Amino acid sequence: MPLMVEQFMCRSDNFGVLLHDAGTGETAIVDAPEEAPILAAIERTGWRPTLILTTHHHGDHVEANLALKQRFGLSIVGPRAEAAKIPGIDRTVVDGETFLFSGHEVRVIETPGHTAGHVCYFLPGA
């Protein structure tokens, strides 16, 4: 089943994104810039998050990690090269690695530049 996407403003200059599989009910949060707008999006959609996909360690991408982990018991994936700077990280990933989110293949692509360890997540089937 294709993933549904909910995008919304976080902070004054950033976005929050939820990915949802209506078949399984699983939801991923792509980065966690700010707790309140993410909670509002969760409430609006009714999508309960199970995972955070972290692209890089900057505060405006990980600020709500621990609060969301405590609230929802979700797990946090992020780049191995920045693991020490990503609050609550459970699993580290590297370039070329693949894993499943709700049955969808997620490919990890390292995209250094903005930060040395930045990664992108590509879901080719979704």
Distance, in Å, from the CA atom of 115 to the CA atom of 29, rounded to the nearest integer, reads 20
Q: Which stretch binds Zn ion (CB under 5 A): 12-20, 53-61, 63-71, 93-101?
A: 53-61
Q: How far is the CB of 81 from Zn ion (least distance, A)?
A: 14
Q: Which is nearer to Zn ion, 55 or 92 (CB)?
A: 55
Instruction: Please choose, from the candidates 78, 6, 11, the residue with its C-alpha nearest in 3D space to the C-alpha of residue 44.
Output: 6
Q: Which is nearer to Zn ion, 49 or 117 (CB)?
A: 117
H or E element that contains 88: none
Question: Phi and psi dihedrals of 14, rounded to 5?
Answer: -145, 170
String of contacts with Zn ion for each residue 67-106, x by CB under 5 A:
----------------------------------------
Which of 58, 71, 85, 107 contacts Zn ion by CB under 5 A? 58
Distance, in Å, from the CA atom of 77 to the CA atom of 119, rounded to the nearest integer, reads 11
**Residue count, binding to Zn ion (CB under 5 A):** 1
Helix axes 35-45, 65-72, angle to 10 degrees: 40
Residues found near Zn ion in the complex (CB under 5 A): 58
